[in-house]
Amino acid sequence: MTLLVETPPTRLEERRYVLGVVLGEWLDVPWTLRSVDRKDVRIRTGTGGEIVMPDRFFGQADRAWLEESSIPPACSEVWDVTSIASPLRVVDRNIPIVLRGPLETTRLEGRSLRLPIDVFGTAFLMLSRYEEWVRPDRDEHDRFPGSASLAANSGFLHRPVVDEHVELLRWSIERVMPDHRPRLPEYRLDVSCDVDRPFDPESGSPRWLVRRMAGDLLRRRDGASAWNRIRQFQGGRRGDHRGDPMNTFEWMFDVAEESGCTITFNVMASDDPAPCDVRYRIGDPWIRRLLRRIHDRGHRIGLHGSYRSGVDAERLGAERRRLQQTVEEEGIDQTVEMGRQHYLRWCPRRSLRTLEEAGLRLDSTLGFADRPGFRCGTSREFPMYDLESSSIRQLRQRPLICMEASVLSPRYLNLEAAGREAAPSAGCGRPAARSEDGSRCSGTTASFGIPGT
């Protein structure tokens, strides 16, 4: 039986998109949209059940679409969902309302339910990254910062607020429309690593050796590390990086496989690196062997788009083709169609089309660099929406939830320093690589997403 969704006759393409994601893809229930002369949204079936909710986002934003004045203000209001619902899979019983408006009267009367939350408007606002289109806030890398987001300023960045609203809608449909059984989401851990520095690119340089050994002996009083530098230098001269402390891949393979998960390793393939890009070449024999090893251990290979490529389809397409060609030359049966942009650089008006034109079908760039959390309000994969053309795109987003640099880097939360002060002897199973000044460095950028299926 098909759900009939009745909405005001505004922003119909946007409404079809979000209904298709929430009802069609995530909850797996058939639906149809009808525009009617009403100020709220009603879901009903032929058997009499109905759900009514406010139409806050589309109702208010339509008057100034894609203008900064259409962004809703930060809202700290919550609703205690246990006032009507049985136990739900939510972070906390008090669900963020997100979109401020007149407080709706919540009622559950037989098979009629009125909710105070604009489920579809909230989902569209968060999934489309509407605020990033219209707000000018940018950091030094031309990224929209998490600190400027509605989620951070309203206090719900740490919550998958869209998933929580969808869970409420799923329960509501089951409660008042017993003929429908919306799909329950299943979750899994999805780990991806940006291969930024798989080995120290200067390890074969005599100057590098002198500097590192001087630091080990004179500053750190560490003779064992100085001796290891000689071995690392000799290996670097031969293109053998097995002893390089940045080469942690075998350890990562082991940990992932013990946990029952696979890793996507996003590899760079630029032949014209910007100053912020990494310096290895995709044709380097050691990198080729690494690609084979990733594949042989059952993991995936993705593209790590270079610093300037997110707004340059020709550049990004060339990088994807270069990586694909190398993969095929090594006899690896994988198609390169997923990836993440270097520095998490994402231009709301250009990157979506750039990645599509370059031949990518799945992206995982949308997480904030300055803090972990749910940039899109969800942990689920979803198709992206182009606000400029008002159309659903082929590119899908698997949002990034937590990147280790966001948590550990002194530029951001700097929790590594706090951890050292709280537990200086704590370890994580493998010694961290150390830079010249003794600080931690990493050969990869490890990131974690938890997509729903």
Residue 323 resides in a domain: yes
Check residue 85 and give its pLDDT.
77
pLDDT tens-digit series, residues 390-438: 999 999 999 999 888 888 877 777 776 555 555 443 333 333 333 332 3
Same domain, residue pair 307 and 442 = yes
pLDDT tens-digit series, residues 200-225: 655 556 775 567 667 777 777 777 77
Q: How many independent structural domains does the chain possess?
A: 3
% of residues, the chain, pLDDT over 70:
84
- Indicate the burial class of 376 (C-beta count within 10 angstroms; 0-12, 13-18, 19 or more): buried
Task: Give the list of residues 6+ apart from residue 92 with CB closer than 8 angstroms, or none.
Answer: 159
Using alpha carbons, select from 350, 384, 219 the residue that is nearest to residue 375.
Answer: 384
Average pLDDT of the chain is 86
Residues 394 and 232: their CA atoms lie apart, in Å, by: 45
Q: CA 107, 112, 114, 119 torsion: positive or negative?
A: positive
Same domain, residue pair 96 and 16 = yes
pLDDT tens-digit series, residues 57-116: 999 999 999 999 999 999 999 999 988 877 888 999 999 999 987 766 787 888 899 999
Residue 356 resides in a domain: yes
Check residue 246 and give its pLDDT.
75
- Indicate the burial class of 369 (C-beta count within 10 angstroms; 0-12, 13-18, 19 or more): buried
Same domain, residue pair 255 and 232 = no
Using alpha carbons, select from 168, 28, 46, 182 the residue that is nearest to residue 108.
Answer: 168
Task: Give the list of residues 6+ apart from residue 361 with CB closer than 8 angstroms, or none.
Answer: 337, 338, 394, 395, 396
CATH assignment of the domain containing 404 = 3.20.20
Residue 182 resides in a domain: no
109 forms bridges with which residues in the sheet?
112
As a whole number, mean pLDDT of residues 109-125 equals: 94
Residue 106 resides in a domain: yes
User: Poorest-confidence range of 130-139, 240-249, 341-350?
Assistant: 240-249
Rounded to two decimals, the pTM is 0.86
Residue 277 resides in a domain: yes
- 437 token code pair: 């000044």
Residues 237 and 382: their CA atoms lie apart, in Å, by: 46
- 123 token code pair: 């989902």
Task: Give the list of residues 6+ apart from residue 344 with CB closer than 8 angstroms, or none.
Answer: 143, 365, 367, 368, 369, 400, 403
Task: Give the list of residues 6+ apart from residue 328 with CB closer than 8 angstroms, or none.
Answer: none
Same domain, residue pair 50 and 71 = yes
Check residue 438 and give its pLDDT.
31
Same domain, residue pair 299 and 334 = yes
Residue 184 resides in a domain: no
Same domain, residue pair 275 and 396 = yes
Same domain, residue pair 363 and 329 = yes
* C-alpha of 264 from chain center: 13
% of residues, the chain, pLDDT over 90:
65
pLDDT tens-digit series, residues 272-316: 888 888 778 899 898 999 999 999 999 999 999 999 999 999 999
Domain assignment of residue 388, given as a range? 190-198+246-449
Same domain, residue pair 125 and 21 = yes
Same domain, residue pair 288 and 212 = no
CB 305 within 8 A of CB 340: yes
Secondary structure, 3-state, 188-224: CCEEEEEECCCCCCCCCCHHHHHHHHHHHHHHCCCHH
Residue 95 resides in a domain: yes
Same domain, residue pair 213 and 250 = no
CB 82 within 8 A of CB 92: no
* C-alpha of 430 from chain center: 26
Residue 183 resides in a domain: no
Same domain, residue pair 227 and 270 = no
Residue type, 308: R
Same domain, residue pair 428 and 337 = yes
301 forms bridges with which residues in the sheet?
265
DSSP 8-state code for residue 187: B
